[in-house]
């Protein structure tokens, strides 16, 4: 397939006689030997599966080649080997979903109603094999009972050799259960069989609680070893011990195996070949303080290859890896990237509209339904239309060139393209206008494919009429379109990082080491934040030693300007042009900067229960770290140590999980064992959440004889001090009885809380959630930035996280900030909101409602229109929220002006002649 020629029309796949398994749909559907992965695939280019193509195998057929209107089929293509000379490599090879076929007892290969979670995703998806209808595969019946079995291919060293936790399965199983319930009209019973529910991410615990309490998803703590067949039935049986240790047997319509992540064998081989060290679980080996570097210099890691990760984590590490790579390449920045030369724009002001209309056939996509010739004929008679024509593919390069030529030749000053969706193609056509010297906003698209030919296949005459209507509306709108201007704004090349903890230092170093003057503001008298109090990392590195070298690197970087004992007094300006007043030691200085990184961190809370503060033997995890750091001899004498988990976390008044405490307690428990191997150590927990490869620590702890006792939130451990002796009583849920143990050291895993700073939130106009953490731009795709441009987020201010994740997050925020600094100039969009101050009533709806902080009030001391609203064109995204909310009608959206919309509306109701 010649990629440059294929236009993605799909004529080839329609006629291809050979069916193959659709791997995108997890084999639940067929596709053709010539195919795209999925309809929205990028790039939308068809490929031939050479192992199944009849022509390539037997030399016959070639139907696709005969049919292809673009002449894109090339059977002679051979595999090529390319050698790329690059400065750095980022390894983000991802993972394979675990294949449960090998685990015979789950009957996956034998029973159609045992499916994997990936298959479940496809079944729930509207684009999936069942069209989004939740049915079981054996008989297409709607299921009434579905079970999810957790940890299939994870936390299992005996049967599949994957002892690690895949981190994401608990959360996706809960999501699938909740979504499945939504799909089902008659009510659906969803049961999740688990060992520990691991929902340590941001807002995850809330989702879990909601699924349990409001949605009625059943959570059953039991690892299911096998699924039993039922004779003459497609149903399946599971046997398990319930909380009262009674044997239960339940029949389900469907069973979903929550499969884990695995690294592809070829990636393992490749890694070994090129010198990338792997971890025990075959993930890329990294260290806590260098979470993005592989063992081979210049090769960085992102995504699940570096350890099981969910989407936001993958995005954080991906941006972090980009920063790490950029750090070593920064001297060569902009040496290879290509730049486009600007073309001068011709003025159309005062000219009579002269509209060119191009109707796209989109191969047979549109022309197969709509009578394109008729639409062209109609369009050519519309007012101000001086040219109308059809194209087979308007988006192909030769048609683009032709369109630019026609604009110049015919002197067209407005263009309508009736084709597909502006979402994907508007920028392309606008570029064509620009290349012809026409303002790109003198353009309108009519979507006669997605909104018309695709949905009205069965009524072609009506579809043609609709296409005519859509074209007429677009012509009416574009006729009164005005050229819009995009202004340019310099981006100040300095950066400000607020918070000098691990995340803040990492972000600041990421920027400073690439040559940007960076101000790092810390409220305390030293850098390092909470990490100053931590003894060992999850990789058992000495945190103090590593932290010292990180701080030294920061101090030695002459582009990094550290301000200790400092606070932010005021912030003015916006993306590219901030002015911040920093107060340090009674003196104030004003820093101008283009980007701001918020890394204000979090802190361990002081427990208000378990007699904390009443006895010096009852301490927090960080207190214990302090003892380790100081080499406290008294620890040697401890005979019995008890750790209590979830102190202040996962409680009604603080519902989130603090994420790091399970691992922290286990590391500390192992450390105590090292000091005194005879020490009795108990960890009282609710769920052990050693996600990812931290699971190995959990194993080690169990092997070291540390005793784990699960307690329930409704019956928490009880501490008594009598005659100087501390005793702990706890209800053991697996023995179903109360246990009492003596302890001479009790460590409380206290919750992590955000360092809340209302003033800062106000200065930067950034939102805070119910738990006190900042709300990022997008929970999944924008974890390192805020919705407000130019403000970035990292570290504990976002959510509790361990050191490696904080560093990755810091670097991720730096990478995002870098993309802005690297631009040097910001170009505003033309389609932005605009205020007519005479109509403005100063009510402030726009200021309040805008998620991007674009509207503000004109200052009271201004000569004109004081107190009225104004729009910052740099921050405006043209979403139109303010325009729709403005009762006074003072706001308008350029490019979607009232008269344009009205023209479209009245055109819609005109009768086609």
Partner 1 sequence: MAEYISKIQEISKKILQDGKVDIVIGFSDGSLPMASRPCFIKSPEDTGKLIFDGNCGINLANYLTGKKEKIGIIAKGCDSRNIAQLIVENKIKREQLFIIGVPCFKMIDKRKTSLLFEEEITQVTESDDKIIVKGKNKEKTFNREDMLQENCITCMHRNPVIYDELAGELIKESDQKAEYEDVKKIEAMSSEDRWNHFSEMLSACVRCYACRDACPLCYCPTCFVDESSPQWVGKSADNQIDVKTFHILRAFHCAGRCTDCGACEKACPMGIKVRKFTRKLNSDAMRHYEWEAGLTTDKRPLLDNFRVNDYQDFIK
Partner 2 sequence: MSKDIVGSVVVIGGGIAGMRSALDLANSGYYVYLVEKSSSIGGVMSQLDKTFPTNDCAM
Least distance from partner 1 to the Cβ atom of residue 124, Å:
14
What is the 8-class DSSP label of residue 345? P
Instruction: Using DSSP bridges, classify how beta strands 833-835 and 443-447 pair: parallel, antiparallel or unpaired.
Output: unpaired
> Looking at 887, 909, 911, 913, which residue binds partner 1 (CB under 8 A)?
887
Binding piece for partner 2, criterion CB under 8 A, among 174-182, 355-363, 366-374, 427-435: 174-182
Q: How far is CA 147 from CA 166, 170, 199, 229, 521, in A?
A: 19, 13, 19, 15, 51
Query: Coil, strand, or helix at residue 341?
Result: coil
Name the residue nearer to partner 1 (CB basis): 635 or 850. Answer: 850
- 867 forms part of the interface with partner 1 (CB under 8 A): yes
Residue 879 makes contact with partner 2 by CB under 8 A: no
Q: Which does 777 bind (CB under 5 to 8 A by kind): partner 1, partner 2, none?
A: partner 1
Q: Does 28 bind partner 2 (CB under 8 A)?
A: no
Q: Residue 124 interacts with partner 2 (CB under 8 A)?
A: yes
Region of 135 (left: φ > 0; alpha: ψ -120 to 50; beta: rest) is beta
Q: What does the alpha-carbon distance between residue 308 and residue 260 come to, in Å, rounded to a whole number?
A: 9
**Under rule CB under 8 A, residue 570 binds partner 2:** no
194 part of the interface to partner 2, by CB under 8 A: no
- Selection from partner 2, partner 1, none that 73 binds (CB < 5 to 8 A by kind) is none
Binding residues for partner 2 restricted to 758-787, rule: CB under 8 A:
778-780
Read off φ and ψ for residue 693, nearest 5 degrees: -80, 0
With contact defined as beta carbons under 8 Å apart, do 464 and 359 qualify? no
# residues near partner 1 by CB under 8 A:
36
336 binds partner 2 (CB under 8 A): yes
553 lies in the binding site for partner 2 (CB under 8 A) = no
Residue among 845, 871, 874, 876 that touches partner 1 (CB under 8 A): 845
Task: Provide the residue count of the chain.
Answer: 913
The helix-helix angle for 502-512 and 803-823 (nearest 10°) equals 30
Report the partner that residue 175 touches, choosing among partner 2, partner 1, none (CB closer than 5 to 8 A by kind).
partner 2
In the set 13, 28, 47, 376, which binds partner 2 (CB under 8 A)? 47
Nearest approach, Cβ of residue 401 and partner 1 (Å): 39
CA-derived radius of gyration, the chain:
31
Q: Which stretch binds partner 1 (CB under 8 A): 166-174, 640-648, 810-818, 884-892?
A: 884-892
Here the tokens at position 399 are 């048609």
Enumerate residues 6+ apart whose C-beta is below 8 A from 412.
Answer: 354, 355, 356, 386, 387, 406, 438
Q: Which stretch binds partner 1 (CB under 8 A): 153-161, 204-212, 400-408, 557-565?
A: 204-212
Position among 13, 89, 178, 484 found at the interface with partner 1 (CB under 8 A): 178
In whole angstroms, the minimum distance from the beta carbon of 454 to partner 1 comes to: 28
Site string for partner 2, 789-818 (x = CB under 8 A): --------------------------xx-x
Q: Which of 424, 819, 848, 906 binds partner 1 (CB under 8 A)?
A: 848
* Contact partners, residue 774, CB within 8 Å, separation at least 6: 598, 754, 761, 766, 767, 768, 786, 793, 797, 798
203 binds partner 1 (CB under 8 A): yes
Q: Which residue's entry shows tokens 């927990």? A: 685
- The verdict on 127 binding partner 1 (CB under 8 A) reads no
CA 709/CA 711 separation, integer angstroms? 6
Where b means 16+ CB within 10 Å and e means fewer, 522-552 reads bbeeebbbbbbbbbbbbbeeebbebbeebbe
Q: Which of 386, 388, 400 is closest to 358 using CA atoms?
A: 388
The C-alpha atoms of residue 241 and residue 223 are separated, in whole angstroms, by 9
DSSP H or E stretch at residue 685: strand 680-685
Out of 18, 31, 32, 122, name the contact with partner 2 by CB under 8 A.
122
Residue 822 binds partner 2, judged by CB under 8 A? yes
H or E element in which residue 318 lies? helix 311-329
Touching partner 2, residues 627-686 (CB under 8 A): none
Contact 132, 124 (CB under 8 A): yes
Cβ contacts of 308 within 8 Å, gap of 6 or more: 95, 154, 164, 165, 166, 167, 168, 260, 261, 283, 691, 692, 693
Chain residues 247-286 in contact with partner 2, contact rule CB under 8 A: none
Distance, in Å, from the CA atom of 415 to the CA atom of 430, rounded to the nearest integer, reads: 9
Question: Which one of partner 1, partner 2, none interacts with residue 26, CB within 5 to 8 A by kind?
Answer: partner 2
Contact residue for partner 2 among 251, 311, 712, 713 (CB under 8 A): 311
Run of H or E residues at 898 = helix 898-909
Contact status: 761 vs partner 1 (CB under 8 A) = no
In the complex, what is the shortest distance from the CB of residue 616 to partner 2, in angstroms, rounded to a whole number? Answer: 42
Where are the extended beta strands (E) located within 265-312? 299-301
Among 231, 337, 340, 838, binds partner 1 (CB under 8 A): 838
Pairing of strands 34-35, 47-48: antiparallel
Choice from 51, 85, 525, 556 touching partner 2 (CB under 8 A): 85
Q: According to CB under 8 A, which residues from 100 to 119 bind partner 2?
A: 118
Residues 776-795 binding partner 1 (CB under 8 A) are: 777-779, 787
Answer with the entry of partner 2, partner 1, none that 340 interacts with (C-beta below 5 to 8 A by kind): none
- In three-state secondary structure terms, 735 is coil
Shortest distance, CB of residue 24 to partner 2, whole angstroms? 6
Residue for token pair 């050693």? 690
Distance of CA 694 to the CA centre of its chain: 22
Residue among 362 and 850 whose Cβ is closer to partner 1 = 850
Which position among 416, 438, 498, 881 is part of the footprint of partner 1 (CB under 8 A)? 881
For residues 762-787, one letter each, b for 16 or more C-beta atoms within 10 angstroms of the residue's C-beta and e for the rest, the string is ebbbbebeebebbbbbeeeebbbbbb
Could you say which of partner 1, partner 2, none residue 406 binds, taking C-beta under 5 to 8 angstroms by partner kind?
A: none
Q: Which residue among 16, 90, 438, 442 contacts partner 2 (CB under 8 A)? A: 90
The reply on whether position 29 binds partner 2 by CB under 8 A is: no
**CA 647 vs CA 114, 307, 689: distances in Å:** 39, 28, 14
Q: Any contact of residue 454 with partner 1 (CB under 8 A)?
A: no
Q: Is 184 in the site for partner 1 (CB under 8 A)?
A: no
Q: Which helix (H) or strand (E) holds 477?
A: helix 460-479
Residue from 279, 450, 727, 885 touching partner 1 (CB under 8 A): that is 885
Burial of 4 (0-12, 13-18, 19+ CB in 10 A): exposed
Contact between 4 and partner 2 per CB under 8 A: no
**Residue 653: which residues within 8 A CB-CB, separation 6 or more?**
none
Give whichever of 326 and 788 is closer to partner 1, judged by the CB atom.
Answer: 788
Q: Which of 257, 505, 753, 775 binds partner 1 (CB under 8 A)?
A: 775
Q: Which of 263, 284, 304, 683 binds partner 2 (CB under 8 A)?
A: 304
**What does the alpha-carbon distance between residue 596 and residue 793 come to, in Å, rounded to a whole number?**
9
Binding partner selected for residue 838 from partner 2, partner 1, none, CB under the kind-specific 5 to 8 Å limit: partner 1
Q: Is 311 in the site for partner 1 (CB under 8 A)?
A: no
Minimum CB separation of residue 310 from partner 1 in Å reads 16
Q: Residues 626, 842, 865, 896: which binds partner 1 (CB under 8 A)?
A: 842
Q: Which of 139, 182, 409, 488 binds partner 1 (CB under 8 A)?
A: 182
Q: Is residue 325 at the binding interface for partner 2, with CB under 8 A as the rule?
A: yes
Interface ranges with partner 1 (CB under 8 A): 178, 182, 203, 206-207, 210, 214-215, 767, 775, 777-779, 787, 838-845, 848-851, 857, 867, 881, 885, 887-889, 898-899, 902
């Amino acid at each position: 397939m010649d990629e440059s020629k294929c236009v993605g029309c799909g004529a080839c796949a329609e006629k291809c006689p050979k069916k193959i398994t659709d791997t995108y749909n997890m084999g639940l559907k067929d596709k053709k030997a010539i195919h795209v992965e999925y309809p929205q695939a990028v790039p939308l280019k068809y490929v031939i599966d050479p192992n199944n193509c009849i022509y390539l195998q037997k030399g016959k057929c070639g139907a696709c080649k005969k049919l292809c209107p673009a002449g894109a089929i090339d059977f002679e293509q051979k595999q090529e080997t390319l050698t790329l000379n690059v400065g750095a490599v980022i390894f983000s090879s991802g993972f394979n979903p675990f294949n449960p076929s090998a685990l015979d007892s789950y009957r996956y290969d034998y029973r159609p109603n045992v499916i994997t979670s990936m298959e479940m995703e496809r079944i729930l998806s509207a684009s999936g094999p069942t069209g989004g209808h939740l049915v079981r595969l054996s008989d297409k019946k709607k299921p009434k009972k579905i079970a999810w079995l957790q940890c299939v291919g994870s936390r299992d060293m005996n049967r599949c050799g994957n002892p690690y936790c895949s981190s994401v399965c608990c959360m996706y199983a809960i999501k699938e259960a909740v979504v499945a319930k939504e799909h089902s009209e008659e009510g659906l019973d969803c049961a999740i069989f688990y060992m520990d529910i691991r929902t340590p991410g941001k807002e995850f615990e809330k989702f879990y609680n909601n699924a349990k309490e409001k949605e009625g998803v059943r959570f059953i703590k039991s690892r299911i070893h096998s699924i039993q067949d039922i004779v003459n039935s497609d149903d399946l049986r599971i046997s398990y011990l319930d909380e009262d240790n009674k044997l239960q047997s339940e029949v389900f319509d469907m069973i979903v195996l929550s499969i884990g992540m695995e690294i592809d064998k070829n990636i393992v081989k490749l890694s070994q070949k090129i010198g990338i060290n792997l971890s025990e679980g075959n993930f890329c080996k990294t260290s806590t303080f260098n979470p993005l570097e592989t063992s081979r210099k210049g090769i960085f890691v992102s995504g699940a290859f570096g350890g099981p990760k969910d989407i936001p984590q993958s995005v954080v590490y991906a941006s972090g890896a980009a920063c790490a790579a950029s750090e070593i390449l920064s001297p060569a920045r902009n040496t290879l990237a290509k730049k486009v030369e600007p073309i001068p724009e011709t003025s159309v002001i005062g000219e009579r509209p002269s509209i060119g209309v191009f109707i796209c056939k989109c191969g047979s996509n549109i022309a197969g339904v709509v009578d394109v010739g008729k639409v062209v004929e109609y369009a050519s008679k519309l007012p101000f239309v001086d040219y109308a024509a059809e194209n087979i593919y308007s988006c192909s390069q030769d048609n683009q060139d032709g369109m630019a030529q026609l604009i110049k030749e015919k002197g067209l000053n407005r263009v309508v393209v009736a084709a597909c969706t502006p979402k994907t193609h508007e920028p392309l056509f606008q570029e064509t206008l620009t290349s012809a010297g026409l303002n790109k906003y003198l353009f309108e698209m009519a979507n006669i494919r997605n909104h018309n030919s695709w949905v009205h296949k069965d009524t072609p005459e009506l579809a043609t009429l609709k296409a005519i209507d859509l074209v007429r509306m677009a012509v009416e709108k574009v006729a009164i379109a005005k050229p819009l201007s995009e202004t340019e704004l310099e981006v100040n090349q300095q950066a400000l990082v607020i918070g000098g903890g691990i995340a803040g230092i990492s972000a600041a170093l990421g920027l400073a080491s690439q040559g940007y003057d960076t101000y790092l503001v810390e409220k305390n008298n030293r850098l390092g934040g909470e990490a100053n109090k931590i003894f060992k990392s999850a990789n058992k590195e000495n945190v103090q030693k590593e932290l010292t070298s990180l701080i030294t690197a920061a101090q030695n970087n002459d582009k990094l300007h550290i301000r200790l004992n400092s606070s932010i007094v005021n912030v003015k300006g916006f993306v590219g042009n901030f002015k911040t007043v920093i107060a340090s030691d009674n003196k104030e200085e004003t820093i101008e900067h283009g980007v701001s990184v918020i890394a204000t961190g979090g802190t361990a809370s002081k427990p208000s229960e378990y007699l904390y503060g009443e006895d010096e033997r009852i301490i927090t995890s960080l207190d214990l770290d302090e003892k380790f750091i100081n080499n406290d001899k008294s620890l040697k004498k401890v005979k019995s140590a008890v750790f209590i988990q979830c102190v202040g976390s996962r409680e009604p008044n603080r519902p989130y999980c603090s994420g790091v405490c399970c691992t922290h307690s286990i590391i500390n428990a192992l450390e105590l064992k090292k000091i005194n191997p005879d020490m009795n150590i108990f960890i009282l927990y609710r769920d052990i959440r050693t996600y990812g490869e931290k699971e190995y620590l959990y194993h080690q702890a169990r092997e070291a004889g540390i005793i784990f006792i699960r307690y329930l939130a409704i019956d928490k451990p009880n501490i008594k001090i009598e005659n100087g002796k501390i005793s702990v009583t706890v209800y053991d849920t697996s023995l179903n009885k109360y246990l009492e143990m003596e302890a001479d050291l009790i460590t409380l895993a206290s919750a992590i809380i955000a360092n809340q700073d209302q003033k800062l939130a106000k200065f930067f106009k950034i939102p805070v959630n119910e738990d006190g953490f900042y709300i990022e731009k997008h929970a999944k795709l924008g974890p390192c930035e805020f919705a407000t441009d130019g403000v970035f987020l990292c570290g504990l201010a976002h959510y509790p996280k361990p050191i490696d994740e904080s560093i990755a997050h810091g670097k991720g925020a730096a990478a995002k900030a870098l993309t802005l600094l690297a631009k040097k100039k910001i170009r505003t969009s033309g389609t932005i909101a605009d205020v007519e101050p005479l109509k403005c009533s100063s009510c402030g709806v726009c200021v309040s409602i805008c998620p991007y902080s674009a509207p503000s009030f004109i200052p009271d001391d201004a000569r004109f229109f004081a107190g009225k609203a104004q729009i910052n064109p740099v921050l405006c995204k043209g979403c139109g929220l303010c325009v729709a909310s403005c009762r006074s009608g003072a706001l308008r959206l350029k490019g979607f002006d009232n008269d344009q919309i009205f023209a479209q509306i009245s055109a819609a109701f005109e009768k086609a002649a």
